[in-house]
Structure 1
Amino acid sequence: MKKAVIVKAKRTPIGRENGILSSFQPHELAAPLLQHLAKDIETEIDDVIVGNIVGLGGNIARLSALEAGLPLTIPGMTIDRQCSAGLEAIRTACYFVQGGAGKCYLAGGVESTSTSPFKNRAQFSPVHIGDPDMGVAAEYVAEKYRISRERQDEYAFKSYLRSINAYELGFYQHEILKLNQIETDEEFFRRRDMKKLLKRARPIFKKEAGTVTAANSCGIHDGACAVLIMEENFANQFDYEPVLRFVDSQVSGVHPNFPGFSPAPAIQELLKRNELAIEDIDLIEINEAFASKIVACAQELSIPYEKLNVLGGALTLGHPYGASGAILVTRLFYEVQRRSDITYAIAAIGSGGGVGLALLFEVVRKKVSGPRT
């Protein structure tokens, strides 16, 4: 079987809804990334696969590729698997490479909540089964898995400190492609007093005895992210140095009332099939939509926080739906290059309707002198 490897990865800065990126349509966010990643190999790209959820419709991948000035021969495919869309785009491209359908793909996701025409979310599930909003579902997860407000706030504070540390060390800057002179995530324009916010925040989805607050939940944001995926021998032929090699993936379904827990069974099945244990995985990225889901998944899988979301995540930076899964992979792409002790890494995300997706990667090479951009 052919091997799919990730050789480049970039994201835009992440902006709040109606914030610094509010004037950009989805294809205008994605196009600069595609142009950057495709530089000097435009004619070798087989397809562009982009995840998007609340856009204007149509084939945003094709539109973005054309906006980027890529060859007209590149078709483009847009995927909607709710919050898993960006990760699913990468997964699909990796399988295309493995199956011999092509040798070179651009894959990722984009979201412009600011320009979305939809005032209400799409339906996740038939009402008679259960179709809660994601915040209500986060409360359901907290109740079912007995995740207290204190544990959620403790994790949210830990994640915030990790994000601030990563920002101050310049780690996020390796991920970011400057967009119209914007080169910093909007959440770092002004420092939060996170202890105070956590203490005074009130439950917003379940007023009586709720545990999920604005302070231990992610915000709604805009942004885009993409990676360059190649067949490994093809990458070597063009002098690209592979960083992450795709090993396997698993998508799993859970009851739509508990979408935040869906990464757990996906990761469990992925490990089982590959005869691995959680101890064998050195880094794990699970999208931080809500602290309750992270604590519940960590509890179920016995994941030590020392290897989980080590640079923080969406609780601070925000959650640009369709892009978030690709951001997880991009974070791993750069973090494994800063470390010499990483063999396996997992990126996982849960989606509305109760869908969990997890991808397993192994590190190909480790760069001691600094991350490749």
Structure 2
Amino acid sequence: MKRAVIVNAKRSPIGKKNGILKDYAVHELASPLIRQLSIGFEGIVDDVLLGNVTGPGGNVARLSALEAGLSLSVPGVTLDRQCSAGLEAIRMACYLIQGGAGLCYLAGGVESTSTSLFPAKARFSPDFIGDPDMGKAAEYVAQKYGISKDAQDSYALLSYERSWEAYEHGHFEKEIIPFGHIVHDEEFFKKRNMTALLKRAKPIFTNENGTVTAANSCTINDGAAVVTVIEEELALSLGLLPVLRFIDSQVAGVHPNYPGAAPIPAIKKLLERNNLRIEEIDLMEINEAFASKIVGCSQELSIPYEKLNVSGGALTIGHPYGASGAVLVNRLFYEVQRKNNVKYVLAAIGSGGGIGVAVLFETMVN
């Protein structure tokens, strides 16, 4: 069986809805990443796979590839698994290489909520099952697992502090391709008193015993992230340094009322199949759509915070839906190059409709 490895990863700065990236159409967010990652791979790229959720329709991946100047022979396909879409695109690229369908793919996700034509979320589930807004679903997760507001606020503060520390140490610089004068995420334009914000923030999704607030939830954002997935022997023959080797992945479904809990069974099944324990995973990135989701996943899977989202995440920099799963892999790609004795890493995300995706990688640079 052929092995898929990741040899490069880039993302855009992440902007708030109607913020610094508001004037970029969705394909204009993805195309600079595709253009840079395709340098040196002319004639090798088999396809471009992009996740997208709220885009204008059409095939965003094909449009972005053409905008980036790729050969007309590179087709492009756009995926929608809601917030899991970017991670699903990377997962699919890895399986295409394993199956011998191709040798090199650019895969990731992109979202422009600022230019979206859709005023409300899509339907995730029939009403007779339950189709809550994501904020209310985060409350359901908190209730299901007995997660207090204090626990959510404590994690949100930890994430914020980690994000700012990583930013101030320059850890995000290699991740990002500047967009003109925009060289970092919008959240880092000005530091906030997060302790005070968390203390005074009130529940916004339910009036009865609510715990989820604007301060322990992510924002709505614009951004893109793409990685280069290539067959391992080809990568080595080209003199490339593989950083992450794809091992396996798992998708799981849960009740649509609890999408934040969907990574839990996905991660459990993935580790069981590969005879691994949580203790053997050195770094994990789980998308921080809501603090209740991360606290719940940590609690149910016994994941220590020391291994989880170690440079912060979406609670600080934001959640550009279809791109967020690819942002997780981008982060792991650079984290493992800064750390020693890292063998296994994992990215996971939950999405609307109650779907969890988890992807396991082996580190090749330690």
Q: TM-score, normalised by structure 2?
A: 1.00
**SS of equivalent to 1:109:** strand
Q: Counterpart of 1:279 in 2: which secondary structure?
A: helix
Q: Which residue of 1 is the match for residue 27 of structure 2?
A: 27
Matched residue SS, 1:256: coil
Q: Residues of 2 paired with 1:329 and 1:40: CA distance?
A: 22
What letter is aligned with 2:242?
A: P
Task: Give percent identity, aligned residues only.
Answer: 66
**Distance of 1:49 and 1:42 partners within structure 2:** 17
Q: How many residues align?
A: 366
Q: C-alpha deviations, 1:26-79, integer Å up to 9, x for none? A: 100000000000002121000000000000000000000000000000000000
SS at match of 1:349: strand
Q: Which amino acid is the alignment partner of residue 263 of structure 1? A: P
Q: Using the alignment, how far apart are the partners of 2:239 and 2:25 within structure 1?
A: 34
Provide the aligned C-alpha RMSD in A: 0.5
Note the C-alpha offset of 1:93: 0.2
- Matching residue of 2:162: 162
1:91-110 deviation line (CA, Å, top 9, x unaligned): 00000000000000000000
SS at match of 2:173: helix
Specify the code of the residue in structure 2 equivalent to 1:104.
Answer: C
Matches within 5 A, 1:309-324: 309-324=309-324
Determine the structure 2 residue equivalent to 1:271: 271
Distance in 2 (CA, whole Å) between partners of 1:188 and 1:207 is 32
1:91 aligned partner: 91
Residue 298 of structure 1: aligned partner: 298
The whole-number CA distance in structure 2 between the counterparts of 1:339 and 1:281 is: 14
Name the residue aligned to 2:247: 247
Q: Secondary structure, in 3 states, of the residue corresponding to 2:166?
A: helix
* Aligned-partner Cα distance in 2 for 1:153–1:93: 37
Q: Matched residues in 1 for 2:330 and 2:184: separation?
A: 16
Counterpart residue type for residue 231 of structure 1:
E
Bigger Cα displacement from structure 2, 241-250 vs 202-211? 202-211
Deviation at 1:247, TM superposition (A): 0.1
1:287 aligns with 2:287: yes
1:110-129 alignment, distance < 5 Å: 110-129=110-129
**CA–CA separation in structure 1 for the residues paired with 2:179 and 2:102:** 30
Matches within 5 A, 1:104-183: 104-183=104-183
Q: Secondary structure at the match of 1:173?
A: coil
Aligned to 1:204: 204
Equivalent residue letter for 2:200: R
Shift of 1:341: 1.1
Q: Deviations over 1:281-311 (max 9, x none)?
A: 0000000000000000000000000000000
In structure 2, list runs of 5 or more residues that go unmatched: none
Partner in structure 2 of residue 330 of structure 1: 330
SS of the aligned residue for 1:154 comes to: helix
Counterpart amino acid of residue 151 in structure 2: R
Q: Which runs of 4+ in 1 moved over 6 A?
A: none
3-state secondary structure, aligned to 1:282: strand
Q: Supply the AA of the counterpart residue of 2:124.
A: F
In the TM superposition, residue 174 of structure 1 has moved relative to its aligned partner by 1.2
Q: Which residue of 2 aligns with 1:369?
A: none
Secondary structure of the 1:175 match is coil
1:4 and 2:19 aligned: no
State the shift of 1:364 in Å.
1.0
Distance 1:16 1:87 in 2: 21
Say whether 1:190 aligns with 2:177: no
Query: What amino acid is aligned across from residue 291 of structure 1 in structure 2?
Result: A
Q: Quick one: distance in 2 between partners of 1:244 and 1:190?
A: 33
Q: Distance in 2 between matches of 1:208 and 1:347?
A: 34
3-state DSSP class of the match of 1:228? strand
Structure 2 residue 81 is matched with structure 1 residue 81? yes
Separation in 1 of the partners of 2:166 and 2:86?
23
Q: Which amino acid aligns with 2:362?
A: E
1: CA distance between counterparts of 2:260 and 2:122? 17
> How many angstroms apart in 2 are the aligned matches of 1:307 and 1:359?
16
- Cα distance in structure 2, aligned partners of 1:42 and 1:17: 34
Structure 1 unaligned spans of 5+:
367-373
What per-residue deviation string (whole Å, max 9, x for no partner) do you get for residues 338-371 of structure 1? 01110000000000000000000000123xxxxx
Q: Per-residue deviation at 1:199?
A: 0.3
Q: TM-score, normalised by structure 1?
A: 0.98
Q: Provide the rounded CA distance (Å) in 1 between the counterparts of 2:144 and 2:322.
A: 27
Distance 1:124 1:142 in 2: 20
Q: How far apart, CA to CA, are the structure 2 residues paired with 1:232 and 1:206?
A: 50
One-letter code aligned to 1:39: I
Cα distance, 1:208 vs structure 2 = 2.4
**Matches of 1:251 and 1:121 in 2, distance apart?**
22
Residue 181 of structure 1 and its aligned partner are, at CA, apart by 2.1
Give the superposition deviation at 1:317: 0.2
Matched residue SS, 2:213: coil
Query: What's the counterpart of residue 260 of structure 1?
Result: 260
Distance in 2 between the 1:170 and 1:40 partners?
27
